[in-house]
Amino acid sequence: ELSENEMIERVKAIKERYGKKLLIPGHHYQKDEVIQFADITGDSLQLAQAAAANKEAEYIVFCGVHFMAETADMLTTEQQKVFLPDMRAGCSMADMADISQTEQAWIKLQELFGDTILPLTYVNSTAAIKAFVGRNGGATVTSSNAEKMLSWAFGQKERILFLPDQHLGRNTAYNLGIPLEKMAVWNPHTNELECDGNPEDVIVILWKGHCSVHEKFTVQNIEHIRSTKPDMNIIVHPECSREVVAASDLAGSTKYIIDVIEASEPGSKWAVGTEMNLVKRIIDQHPDKEIVSLNPFMCPCLTMNRIDLPHLLWSLEGIAQGKPVNQIRVDEHTAKDAVLALERMLEHV
Ligand code: 13P
Ligand code: SF4
Which tens digit of pLDDT belongs to each residue from 336-348? 999 999 999 999 8
**Ligand 1 midpoint to CA 254 (Å):** 6
pLDDT at 146 over 90: yes
* Ligand closest to the CA atom of residue 276: 2
Question: Residue 3, annotated ligand binder?
Answer: no
CA distance 122 to 341: 10
Count of other CB atoms within 10 angstroms of residue 338? 28
pLDDT of residue 48: 82
Question: Residue 25, annotated ligand binder?
Answer: no
Class of domain 4-90+304-330: alpha beta
ipTM of the prediction: 0.96
pLDDT at 298 over 90: no
Over residues 273-301, mean pLDDT: 94
Q: Where are the domains of the chain?
A: 4-90+304-330, 94-210, 214-293
**Ligand 2 midpoint to CA 210 (Å):** 9
Where does the chain show beta strands of DSSP type E? 22-23, 25-27, 40-42, 59-61, 81-83, 117-122, 139-141, 159-163, 183-187, 192-194, 204-207, 233-236, 250-251, 269-273, 290-293
pLDDT of residue 300: 86
Question: Residue 239, annotated ligand binder?
Answer: yes
pLDDT tens for 156-204 read 999 999 999 999 999 999 999 999 999 999 999 999 999 988 999 999 9
Rounded (10°) CA dihedral 313, 13, 83, 133 = 120
CA distance 80 to 56: 8
pLDDT of residue 335: 98
**Ligand 2 midpoint to CA 275 (Å):** 8
pLDDT at 299 over 80: no
Question: Residue 151, annotated ligand binder?
Answer: no
Nearest ligand 1 atom, CA 43: 2
pLDDT of residue 6: 98
pLDDT of residue 51: 84
CA distance 339 to 61: 20
pLDDT at 44 over 90: no
Nearest ligand 1 atom, CA 275: 8
pLDDT tens for 233-271 read 999 999 999 999 999 999 999 999 999 999 999 999 999
* Ligand closest to the CA atom of residue 275: 2
- Mutation choice for ligand 1 from 28, 35, 44, CB with most ligand atoms inside 8 A: 44
Evaluate whether 94-210 and 214-293 have a shared fold.
yes
Residue ranges lining ligand 2, Cβ < 6 Å? 29, 65, 91-93, 124, 211-213, 275, 301, 303-304
CA distances from 311 to 64, 89, 242 (A): 12, 11, 36
pLDDT of residue 301: 95
Nearest ligand 1 atom, CA 143: 3
Class of domain 94-210: alpha beta
Residue ranges lining ligand 1, Cβ < 6 Å? 43-45, 91, 124, 142-144, 211, 239, 253-254
Question: Residue 145, annotated ligand binder?
Answer: no
Percent of the chain with pLDDT over 70: 100
Residue of the nearest CA to atom 7 in ligand 2? 211
Class of domain 214-293: alpha beta
Count of other CB atoms within 10 angstroms of residue 6? 11
- Mutation choice for ligand 1 from 142, 213, 272, 304, CB with most ligand atoms inside 8 A: 142
pLDDT of residue 341: 98
What is the DSSP code string of 13-60?
A: HHHHHHGGGEE-EEETTS-HHHHTT-SEEE-HHHHHHHHHH--S-SEE
